[in-house]
Structure formats: C-alpha cells, structure tokens
Amino acid sequence: MAAIETDLRRIQTELDLIKSGQWQPPPQAQSPATTTGLCGKGNKPSSQSPRGPFRRFASADGQAIFVGRNARENDALTFGLANSDDLWLHARGVPGSHVVVRMEKGHEPTPTTLLDAATLALLYSDLKKSGKGEVIYTRRKWVRKAKGQAAGAVTVTQDKAIYVTLDKKRLEALKERSAARQE
C-alpha cells in the first residue's frame, strides 16, 4: 500500500509539473554496475530516454495529445491532467488507453486532430489487432468515475463516435512528431 501511495505522489508531482509546463525527463542515473558492465540480463541500461508519465504526441495541426499507458495513468490523465473542455477519446467497448487532446474553451477539434487522436485510441486498445473499430469521444467534463470503480474504468455521457481504420502513414507521422517533441 505504501508503494502505491508513493507512486501516486510521484505521478501527482509530475502532473503538477506538466500543467505548469516545467516537466523535464529525469537525468539518466548510472550506477557502478552499469558503467562497469556488471549488469545482468534485464538490468541493462536503457538506450532510450527516460519516459514521462504519459505517451505524448502532436496532431498534424500541432495539438498536444496525451495517451495513458495503464489504468492508473488513465485515471491520472483523465482526472488529473485533463481540463473539463479537453477532448477525451477511448475505443468503444474494449480495454484501452484514455486519450486526451488539449483544447481551448469554446474551440472544436479539427477533423485532422480528431482522426489523429482516434487513431491513437484505436492503436493503444484491444482493437489494434483488427486494425479498425469505433472510437468514442466527448469533452472531459462528460467523463465520470463512480465511487468504487476500478482504476481506468469510467462512465461516459454525451459521447459521439468515429469509425477508424489504422493508417500506416498516419501512424508513422504521429510517431515522428512524438519523437521530435521528446528531443
């Protein structure tokens, strides 16, 4: 229980830093074992940069898109980072990541941004293997968590749906923009 509370405090701190625009990846820590080559299998230092609290992408229109990695991150993203006017998306009827698009009050997402975010919702869900499916979307203010619901489980009202087919070119462009944002 203490480990969960520690993780929750760490995620909340990172959320606060993201909201203020001051979040930076932590520096690569090197232990003597990693510098001397004494790491066993599974303990090798990562060649990738440290990951932040959410997957981050940019739509073709430059809108910030955040994707949760697991149920706890989905809750932190939806109920911690997201504002009430942000766009929230999820693959219909299957387990998957919550996707949030930063939106200014009174603005609607462009069709390109909506399709980019829906593509990510489909990609990071159990519909990935089929390569197509329905994605629901609504403003974050219409997403609720009932008392006692499991992590990541939500109740959605006033949702709309978009049918998406995974497009290899769109995915490559999203991943390129994601890599460019993290450099």
Is the alpha carbon torsion for 156, 161, 166, 172 positive or negative? negative
- DSSP-derived 3-state class of residue 24: coil
Helices (H) and strands (E) in the chain, counts: 5, 8
Distance in angstroms (rounded) separating the CA atoms of residues 141 and 163: 22
Q: Residue 135: phi, psi to the nearest 5?
A: -120, 130
pTM value is 0.71
Distance in angstroms (rounded) separating the CA atoms of residues 54 and 68: 5
Distance in angstroms (rounded) separating the CA atoms of residues 89 and 92: 9
Q: What is the pLDDT along the chain (183 residues), one digit of tens a residue?
A: 666 766 666 777 676 666 665 555 554 444 444 444 444 444 444 444 445 678 999 999 989 999 999 999 999 999 999 999 999 999 999 999 999 999 988 899 999 999 999 999 999 999 999 999 999 999 999 999 888 888 888 888 889 999 999 999 999 999 888 866 555
Is the alpha carbon torsion for 55, 60, 64, 66 positive or negative? negative
Domains of the chain: which residue ranges? 54-182
